[in-house]
């Protein structure tokens, strides 16, 4: 599978924000956000946040209800 980009998490004001940075140099894409205190306080929610960001990235071009399988 060819690499299409990276997901990264940054802090903006009082929230953690996940972005996708495409390898082709196009602008970063906003994926999701979460309160930074919650993100830092609960490791299991941090993991779920990253999983949500990945799902948003994988499905950003899909129509609602479409199934995407990458396994």
pLDDT tens digits, 5-58: 999 999 999 999 999 999 999 999 999 999 999 999 999 999 999 999 999 999
- Is 0.75 surpassed by the pTM of this model? yes
Q: Are 49 and 41 in contact (CB under 8 A)?
A: no
Give burial (CB, 10 Å; 0-12/13-18/19+) of 57: buried
The alpha carbon of 29 is separated from its chain's Cα centroid by a whole number of angstroms, namely: 9
């Amino acid at each position: 599978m060819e690499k299409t980009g990276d997901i990264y998490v940054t802090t903006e004001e009082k929230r953690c924000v996940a972005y996708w940075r495409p390898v082709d140099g196009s602008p970063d894409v906003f994926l999701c956000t979460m309160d930074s205190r919650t993100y830092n306080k609960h490791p299991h929610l941090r993991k779920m946040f990253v999983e949500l960001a990945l799902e948003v990235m994988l499905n950003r071009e899909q129509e609602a209800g479409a199934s995407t399988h990458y396994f």
